[in-house]
Chain A
Amino acid sequence: MPHKVSLSVNLKGLTLKNPLISASGTFGFAEDFQRINTFKNEDIGAITLKSISLKPRMGNPPPRIVETPSGMLNSIGLENPGVALFKEKHVVKLKKYDTVFFGNIVGSTIDEYAKVAREFNDIDAVSALEVNISCPNVKEGGIAFGTDPKQSYKVISGVRKNTDKLIIAKLTPNVTDIVKIAEACIDAGADMVSLINTVNAMAIDINTRRPVLFNNKGGLSGPSIKPIAIYLVNCVYNYIKENKLDIPIIGMGGILTYEDALEFMIAGASAVSIGTGSFYDPFIYKRLSKKMTEYLRSKNIYDINEIVGSVEMNKH
């Protein structure tokens, strides 16, 4: 008899049936994938909703998307209906699905982050708030906060004062030392960190000699950024381990196969997010759950948590 393998992970008291999470901005408000025949939101460990700001945001003009080697650039520009319309139209639909939901909030000012966080207090379906201090595609807010430890601290502590929900700080790779930003967020009261957001990037049309994206630059995602993400997850994991902190990491960046997901977890991620890979294969969550179970069984591992942070560095 094959032994029972558990994919369940615990993030600060929050139980996920598997460690696979949909990344913010790639899954809308959990309504779109559901239209695909036989797709089940319930197959996903947790669903991160698209970034919500206080007021509606129109987003950037097109083109917003371009494919690049083993990846894609996007510059959506945080298009969203604003928190009021989100609560009125979309929240009610979340209750239909037996899975965990994370909200994702963004602001142009520190005060706006706090206000949006407060608006989520009466949304029971949302268990945690991911704070987007790392969007590269808008003029103010987003990444402006996430590249400066002091600003990151202010945003997270502002949110902390206004919510009892778990806080996930979403970090950008577009910094010299990501650990300093992680440290500031943790000091300010973040319960978890998620990384990485997309990498600053550009594509140019050689015939028109103009950038392909209207916004000129965008954020790179997909398998091309995976090794960068693995390294940064491991950097943050080492910091957390050395300081004996209880801060789970949600790792993401270019996951397409079960090997990718396992690599993140071995590097130190307690759970992983998937985005671009789900455009290639919408059933990626189900596929990876199955494959990860098979892997663990073949290695005689009963509990996926055993592999978290199990990387052994080469000694010199």
Chain B
Amino acid sequence: MKEKMSYEEAFTELERLVVGIEDPERDLSGIENDVKRAMELIEYCRSAIRGEQEKIENIINKSDLSNENI
């Protein structure tokens, strides 16, 4: 996954992939990579909505602070 991708970018790409996958002309074997990427993006969007990146960053920041304190 690209670094520092914004939620908006991820959502737009996901939407585009889903539209592509919905294309009746494309069969299962040809969309394998798109489906994989879509799954990654879904996970990314879900964790962005749920604020999981921030949670992790907070934990990292806090541990940085506590290290400084030591």
Partners in one complex: no
Q: Which residues of A contact B (CB under 8 A)?
A: none
Q: Which residues of B contact A (CB under 8 A)?
A: none
